[in-house]
Chain A
Amino acid sequence: MNNSSVFLEVKDLKKYFPIKRGLFGKTIGYVKAVDGVDFFINKGETLALVGESGCGKTTIAKTILRALDPTDGDVIIHLDSQTINAAKIDKKDQAILRKNIQMIFQNPFTSLNPRMKVRDIIGEPLYVNKIAKGGELEDMVGELMEKVGLRPEYMIRYPHAFSGGQRQRIVIARALALKPKLVVCDEPVAALDVSIRAQILNLLMDLQEELDLTYLFISHDLSVVEHISDQVAVMYLGRIVEIANTKELFESPKHPYTEKLLEAVPVPDPEVRMDQLKPLEGEVPDPANPPSGCYFHLRCPYAGEICEKEYPEITNLKNGESDHLVACHFASDLSLRGIKIT
């Protein structure tokens, strides 16, 4: 690991939501939405978080942005001039986070205020941070719109006049207004049509190269993840079960859950029909009441006795130079089926 190039380090991050019952709102337990997560992202690279709904992907994103306050842990951001800990930073100093971390949301139909003109939507971050106003602001908004492939004349329109793909471009322009270093993309193409999805993915990749952006990319679509990311972290019930570089993870997964996720993706090729494969059974357990031992053991086809009792430590099964972290008792014994990628 080359420490100088690391941009974001997340260390033992935890976010617990209390479960309250009764008249006096007594706390009777916790939902451990994020339970001790460690990862890092290098500058200019993309880390994808994948997993089923409810596994804590979005909670991690919100905690990094401090839209939610973490229960415990550190989120260390290495800026050029200084290093800050987003998890510990004081509420009133959070403006520095907003300048450096921005978010692209999933649904462009709900993340734009229908009563604001596009000029005001994209210009707001510039205005509230006192970067520009008046004519200068309009020029900057125009530039941003051109950058994301929208015509600057449209800045006087309202969001309803735009299609889904164009709205997502507005959301991206707004996120880029403050020249952030890290952009959290939370399922940015899930709500879009197939032909538009490709346009937005291309745009995100172009912008990353042009502006040297670092992405935390949240998605449940593994073919999109394979396309865009450098590292992939697989989550299950609030914990990371496997993390490796994309090629390594897709070609030789070490965690049974990753194998099953890869199998479940419908491949657009009728020659490789998955008729024979039995899909992963069962559903994600209730995070308020997780199973004993390894959280995945109830659905795992390879589970042994130890899996019921102990949660496996995360260990590094290095493959040459590249790190491959996995939390499974049998990780080094199993030979799991991956997907060949070039």
Chain B
Amino acid sequence: MESVLEVKNLGISFELPEGTADVLERVSFTVRENEILGLVGESGCGKSVTALAILGILAKNARVRGEILLNTGNKTIDILKLNPKGEELRQIRGKDISMVFQEPAASFCQVYTIADHLIEAINLHKKVSKKEAREIAIDMLAKVKIPDPQKIMDSYPFELSGGMLQRCMIAIALSGNPKLLIADEPSTALDVTIQAQILYLMKELQREFQSSIILITHDLGVIAQMADRVIVMYLGHIVEEAGVYELFKSPLHPYTKALLRAIPKFGERKMRLEAIAGVVPDPYNLPEGCRFHNRCSNFIEGICNVREPEEIKVDGEHRVKCFLYGEGGNEQ
């Protein structure tokens, strides 16, 4: 299967008055055609920063290393080599890669109507008349199942509910028919029933538009329901990558195992949950060796706190970064 996006050895650090914060290190993964790739991890693990780097919209104090290769069909472009303010990257944003943000109410400008937002996105990438742009916009709103799109077009963002706005944002993101859609916690701010609607819609549209989705979330339930492949992140490292069935059936990394045990599941009433001890360390004093070692139940003194584990291919698609697996990791 062809890849849409290839991220190689991506590293990001932020220069801050308190010092340098390394928020992402040696992150490599590929996004294939027509798949939903789930990125899961707790706050501060680097999920959102990865997304922002792919779009080239990181803050000015960010230092980025590595390569982000976008396959546009006829050529491969390294996004990190482009001028972040240049025309070429602006053409990629919205047309090849677009994004749906977490907080729908905060992502729209309150003084412009939904039509203004949509038509702006359409005009940036398609040479069409005003009337045609409006027709495309109404068509997009109908695609995301907005009732009475004519009326909603001329509404202001504050007049719509969170669920409706999130539908509008998806419509805007899909208006350029992108190959890759990045959805950063698209349903976290919504109620369960509305969340189910939005997730269902995204799956339907993904099939219709034949695009790939990077789905960023902290909710393992959402991942299980949506993703084809999953990447688990902890403190700026990818600790495990596997197909969704494989990951939930036989997780390997102690962090993945602990996360799965820590969530309340139906059918375990009034039992104590197996919480993960401690808290996520702060990015200024990252632990030596494996970054999870001070919270890990399989911690090996003298190894985990000294060296950083290599990534090991277990079988086929399953990758894990932990000393517990394979001799191959120790050889290097």
Chain A residues near B (Cβ < 8 Å):
52-53, 163, 165-166, 193-199, 201-202, 205, 220-224, 226-228, 246-247, 250, 260-261, 263-271, 273-275, 278-281, 283-284, 339-342
Point out the residues of chain B lying under 8 angstroms from A228, CB to CB.
270
Shortest distance in angstroms between B135's beta carbon and chain A's nearest beta carbon? 26
Q: Once the chains bind, are A342 and B258 in contact (CB under 8 Å)?
A: no
Q: How far is the CA of A278 from the CA of B197 in the complex (A)?
A: 8
Greatest chain A CB density within 10 A among B258, B264, B272 is at B264
Point out the residues of chain A lying under 8 angstroms from B328, CB to CB.
none
Greatest chain A CB density within 10 A among B223, B244, B280 is at B280
Point out the residues of chain B lying under 8 angstroms from A342, CB to CB.
267-269
Q: Once the chains bind, are B266 and A263 in contact (CB under 8 Å)?
A: no
Q: Once the chains bind, are A226 and B269 in contact (CB under 8 Å)?
A: yes
Point out the residues of chain B lying under 8 angstroms from A165, CB to CB.
279
Count of B interface residues, CB-CB < 8 Å: 46
Q: Once the chains bind, are B245 and A279 in contact (CB under 8 Å)?
A: no
Shortest distance in angstroms between B304's beta carbon and chain A's nearest beta carbon? 18
Shortest distance in angstroms between B199's beta carbon and chain A's nearest beta carbon? 7
B42 at the interface (CB under 8 A from A): yes
Q: Once the chains bind, are A266 and B225 in contact (CB under 8 Å)?
A: yes
Extra A-B contacts (9), CB below 8 Å, given A193-B43, A280-B196:
A166-B279, A195-B258, A196-B275, A197-B262, A220-B192, A223-B221, A267-B225, A279-B193, A279-B196
Cβ < 8 Å to A, chain B residues 7-52: 42-43
Chain B residues near A (Cβ < 8 Å):
42-43, 161, 163-164, 191-197, 199-200, 203, 218-225, 244-245, 248, 258-260, 262-276, 279-280
Q: Once the chains bind, are A220 and B191 in contact (CB under 8 Å)?
A: yes
Point out the residues of chain B lying under 8 angstroms from A205, CB to CB.
270, 272
Q: Once the chains bind, are A268 and B269 in contact (CB under 8 Å)?
A: no
Q: How far is the CA of A261 from the CA of B275 in the complex (A)?
A: 26
Q: Once the chains bind, are B193 and A273 in contact (CB under 8 Å)?
A: no
Point out the residues of chain A lying under 8 angstroms from B218, CB to CB.
193-194
Given the known inter-chain contacts A52-B191, A224-B264, please indicate yes or no for A279 contacting B225, CB distance below 8 A: no
Q: Once the chains bind, are B262 and A281 in contact (CB under 8 Å)?
A: no
Which residue on chain B has the smallest CB distance to residue A222? B192
Q: Once the chains bind, are B279 and A281 in contact (CB under 8 Å)?
A: no
Point out the residues of chain A lying under 8 angstroms from B264, CB to CB.
198, 201, 223-224, 226-227
Shortest distance in angstroms between B293's beta carbon and chain A's nearest beta carbon? 15
Q: Once the chains bind, are B273 and A202 in contact (CB under 8 Å)?
A: yes
**Would you list the 5 A-B pairs with minimal beta carbon distance, nearest first?**
A266-B221, A198-B273, A198-B275, A279-B196, A264-B196
Shortest distance in angstroms between A5's beta carbon and chain B's nearest beta carbon? 18
Taking a contact as CB atoms closer than 8 A, the residue among A194, A247, A270, A280 that contacts B262 in the complex is A194
Q: Once the chains bind, are A261 and B193 in contact (CB under 8 Å)?
A: yes
Which residue on chain B has the smallest CB distance to residue A278? B200
12 inter-chain pairs at a CB distance below 8 angstroms, sorted by A residue, are A52-B191, A194-B218, A195-B276, A201-B264, A202-B275, A221-B192, A223-B266, A227-B270, A246-B269, A266-B222, A271-B248, A284-B191
Shortest distance in angstroms between B244's beta carbon and chain A's nearest beta carbon? 5
Q: How far is the CA of A227 from the CA of B275 in the complex (A)?
A: 14
Given the known inter-chain contacts A195-B275, A280-B196, please indicate yes or no for A270 contacting B191, CB distance below 8 A: no
Given the known inter-chain contacts A194-B220, A267-B225, please indicate yes or no for A341 contacting B196, CB distance below 8 A: no
Q: How far is the CA of A265 from the CA of B195 in the complex (A)?
A: 9
Taking a contact as CB atoms closer than 8 A, the residue among A223, A246, A283 that contacts B265 in the complex is A223
